[in-house]
Chains A and B, each alone.
Chain A
Amino acid sequence: MNRRRTLLGAVTLAAAAVALAFLVLPVAAIFLRVPPGKLLHQLTSPVVTDALIVSFKTSAIAQALILLFGTPLAYLVASRRFRGRALVVTLIELPLVLPPAVAGIGLLALFGRAGLLGTSIPFTQTAVVLAVAFVSSPLYTRQAIAAFEAVDPDVVAAARTLGAGPGRTFFRVVLPLARGGLAAGEALAFARGLGEFGATIMFAGSLQGLTQTLPLAIYEEFALDFDTALAMGALLVVVSAALLVILKLVLTWQPSRQTSGFLFARSS
């Protein structure tokens, strides 16, 4: 019995080690393949800086749009019970399971010059923003629905009976309470958007300084100069890791604020 238990423990540990190594090693390999000095040097090439600027600019705009439109959507879905609500939630989540290539085709079919709306958006930075927003929005909206649902309805009702209007209740009570969940969702959406590839290359094309984001530049450089591709990969790893760390900080920092009741005290 005891032997069996130690064996089970050893197997569990081995499996865990394999799983962890599988996740860590490819990322570590990026940094091991190119010496840090060379890595930094390659990051000053115009292809890399252009891609970095395009990536951050389009991501920032896309995420702002997601917050602006996704938050009201998530709040409505979370706070109302209506027919077809399950369907709406499924539709919100759909881009999450859609292959990005399908997203690219869909965006072209709608916004393309020959598409339903017949716009001239393809090949512009707007196209990158739309592609990023489309594929990354479910990560935020889903989490936002859950965060709003977790807000105690009694607290909302109390705010309303104390005379706060719906707008004031939302901004002073609901939003601060849901903030942790919203931030977590937004961080994930931002990271996913930063890595967007398939929909972007199909819908927006790839042009240095205009529509070529970091992932697109990495793909192009892979065929031209593997070292530069590695350096860009490392850059994306660092940025994504930083996002993850910020996300964790936000999450662990939130509960203490909630229990302190500080945000309520101030809203009166």
Chain B
Amino acid sequence: MRLILAALLAAVLAGAAAAQVETTRATVFAAASLTDAFPKVAPSARFSFAGSNTLAAQIRQGAPADVFASANTTLPEALHKDGFCSKPVVFTRNTLVLIVPSSNPADIHSVYDLRRKGIKLVIAAPGVPVGSYTVQVLKNMNLTSVLKNVVSRENDVREVLAKVALNEADAGFVYSTDARTVPKKVKVLKIPAWAQPKVQYGICVVSASHNKAAASAFVKRVLSPAGQKILLRYGFLPRVKR
């Protein structure tokens, strides 16, 4: 009886340990905007895509990430400062666009049209990188009053995209790379270059990673010409401005 129990317990523990075993696959926590591109850069890695700030919070709570790829540099910088990850490097850049459903129910043709009353604007929550960039664009254009038309603050950029693509919202701010993923469902309205925020993506190796070799290999792959080429194909900008 005792033997059976001991064996059972051992089996359970072994099973739990097996689930924890470090493989050579890196676990990458990456910004939601990288959902389509990153698996093409490194098909063997495991990914968790979400708002960068959610991922950063999870890493602070000890989530088993090997790499953190954020849609800004401030979140990985803060993690680095607190000893949670290596010094981040910029690995790509992006631009912000305004999107409307392809049927354009609110007849919006520029950012200025967002001032009209009753428009259903969806943006990302304040801590989400794209949410901060959105507020920055509106500040740059002296249009912070349109924030009154915000009907929902989403937790990552893909949720903003979904609400507009579903035709539930009249407009939303996303990265140009997100808008490209559903070309038939949304229409892209450009934001003037002078109002664009500086959208730089930072990547770092998580300090608590038990899989640093795979993590470094992943970062190297992203920064390599091959990795950069794939990012460019998905509409991301070269990591250094030319």
Contacts and interface: CB of A to CB of B under 8 A. Distances in A.
A205 B152 contact: yes
Contact of B60 (A114, A204, A226): A226
Interface in A100-124: 108, 112-114, 122-123
A206 B154 contact: yes
Interface string B146-180: 00001111110001000100111100000000000
A126 to B, nearest CB: 13
B120 interface: yes
Contact of B57 (A7, A206, A207, A222): A222
Interface residues of A, number: 24
Contacts, number: 68
B120 to A, nearest CB: 6
Interface in A202-248: 204-208, 210-212, 219-220, 222-224, 226
B155 A114 contact: no
A4 interface: yes
A140 B57 CA distance: 36
Interface string A47-91: 000000000000000000000000000000000000000000000
Contact of A113 (B122, B153, B168): B168
Contact of A112 (B126, B152, B154, B166): B166
Interface stretch (B23-31, B48-56, B133-141): B48-56
A222 B54 contact: yes
Contacts of A204: 152
A7 B2 contact: yes
A220 B155 contact: yes
A8 to B, nearest CB: 8
Lowest 7 A-B CB distances belong to which pairs? Answer: A205-B152, A123-B151, A223-B53, A114-B167, A223-B54, A224-B127, A223-B57
18 contacts: A108-B166, A114-B167, A123-B120, A123-B122, A123-B152, A123-B168, A201-B159, A205-B154, A206-B125, A206-B153, A207-B151, A219-B155, A220-B155, A223-B54, A223-B125, A223-B128, A224-B126, A226-B61
